[in-house]
Amino acid sequence: MDRLLIANRGEIAVRVARSARARGIETVLAASEADRDSLAAGEVDRTLVIGAPPASASYLNAPLLIHAAIQSGCQAVHPGFGFLSERADFADAVEDAGLVFVGPRGETIRRIGDKLGAREVARDAGVPMAEGSEEVTSTAEAIEIAASIGYPVITKASAGGGGRGMHVAKDAAELEAIFDSASREAEQAFGDGRLYLERFVERARHVEVQVFGDGNGRVVHFGERDCSIQRRHQKMVEESPAALLSAATRARLHEAAVALLRAIDYRGAGTVEFLYDPDTDEFYFMEVNARLQVEHPVTEEVNDIDLVDLQLVVASGDDFHWDQSRISQQGHSIEVRILAEDPANGFRPSPGRITRWDTPSGDGIRLDSAVAAGSFVPPYYDSMIAKLIVTADDRASAIDLLGRALDDFHVEGIHTNIPLLCELARDSAFLDNTTSTRWLDTAAESLIRRDTA
């Protein structure tokens, strides 16, 4: 591979460009008009403006992206995360155009991208799953199935995640009230309103395993991440390793993830997500993310690897030489997402011009970002503008470093969630590692009050 099209924006575009440059690969950025002068554009060899700012006219326009790759003489397309990264039709179209898709094969994405299909693959691979249903087609059927599963239950969209279509019902009345709206929500988000039910784990932790395959049956893992601190099912804090797990449970978790992706000859970077119940020490399959995850830096830090470089190795057809016996984790890493939004105002997005961007630095501190003082944050995309990653010998030391790094992070011109993260980093639930996937939804208000007091 000599030249690569980056079909994404923001910090992941910067991330891919730098890893490609280190491997001697030229890079071309497919950018919207809003991003023609972005920092990502300054990291690549060439920028092609492919469309108007709305994602539907640019980053979600598959024919334009493929045309840009062919026009610029690229041999491969890296989709980053989000946008088209998990669209099987896009992966197929890239390959049909004679290009390499830096990610799983389209047939793989299609097989596990549908959550009901992924549950079938997981079941066949012997991976533990929470009690649940197949597709549920009506409210009446949902109520009947929920009675056999036992409340509380959660509705899930078969076609996607990100919290769309996910609602918890504690009894039949709540399920009746939410089922149709959950289906409509899924239809609007994914063009597919199919839902299924799962037993809801009240104090669940979200634990996921970073897996990598060569597409020919060789699959290894690079440990796990705890992503339990979320707001409305959107991750805000991620760390590796998951400190709550025993050695035996950790080993079983890794084995399950590898078995699942080995069963489908997985190619590239992928993540198998689980719910972990600390009360029973059991874990349950949730879904597979057939792409690089936003939170991959914490895995890179504790493994001393470059996952994007490994993606490029596999995409180039080079030998994937990693063996599980060579892989071991050292230290503890925590990532927080820096968002352009105003927590004190209902987490409203805060686009605009950044007038001050003073960032922390020093040993154990990493910042993945695509903005600087003077950058304009457009209103068209996700609000994440950076990721702050800290790494130390153990969790307590990493938390201490995180607090000091956040104190040294100053942004003006727009609102960010940094003040909220400062309070979170000192909260006893976080320090004691007693959070759950629903903790921040209830704790956010008190954290905001502390910040504004």
Q: pLDDT of 64-115, one tens digit each?
A: 999 999 999 999 999 999 999 999 999 999 999 999 999 999 999 999 988 8
- Which of 87, 199, 291, 395 is the catalytic position? 291
Task: Tell me the CATH number of domain 131-199, given options 3.30.70.890, 3.30.1490.20, 3.30.450.20, 3.40.50.300.
Answer: 3.30.1490.20
Find the mean pLDDT for residues 234-239.
96
pLDDT(340) > 90: yes
pLDDT band for position 453 (cuts 50, 70, 90): low
Q: What is the pLDDT of residue 330?
A: 97
pLDDT of residue 434: 95
3-state secondary structure the chain: CCEEEECCCHHHHHHHHHHHHHCCCEEEEEEEHHHCCCCCHHHCCEEEEEECCCHHHCCCCHHHHHHHHHHCCCCEEECCCCCCCCCHHHHHHHHHCCCEECCCCHHHHHHHHCHHHHHHHHHHCCCCECCECCCECCHHHHHHHHHHHCCCEEEEECCCCCCCCCEEECCHHHHHHHHHHHHHHHHHHHCCCCEEEEECCCCCEEEEEEEEEECCCCEEEEEEEEEEEEECCEEEEEEECCCCCCHHHHHHHHHHHHHHHHCCCCEEEEEEEEEEECCCCEEEEEEEECCCCCCHHHHHHHHCCCHHHHHHHHHCCCCCCCCHHHCCCCCEEEEEEEECEEHHHCCEECCEECCEEECCCCCCEEEEECCCCCCEECCCCCCEEEEEEEEECCHHHHHHHHHHHHHCCEEECCCCCHHHHHHHCCCHHHHCCCCCCCHHHHHHHHHHHHHHC
User: What pLDDT score was predicted for residue 374?
Assistant: 96
Binning pLDDT at 50, 70 and 90, where does residue 117 land?
Answer: confident
Among this protein's residues, is 291 annotated catalytic?
yes
| CATH of span 205-452 | 3.30.470.20
How much is the pLDDT for 161? 72
State yes or no: pLDDT of 240 exceeds 70: yes
* Domain locations in the chain as residue ranges: 3-102, 131-199, 205-452
> Is residue 259 predicted with pLDDT exceeding 90?
yes
Flag whether pLDDT at 29 surpasses 70: yes
- Residue that wins the pLDDT comparison between 431 and 450: 431
| pLDDT score, position 319 | 81
CATH of 3-102, one of 3.40.50.20, 2.40.110.20, 3.40.50.2300, 3.40.50.1000: 3.40.50.20
What is the reported pTM?
0.94
| 352-401 pLDDT, tens digit each | 999 999 999 999 999 999 999 999 999 999 999 999 999 999 999 999 99
**Mean pLDDT to the nearest integer, 269-277:** 96
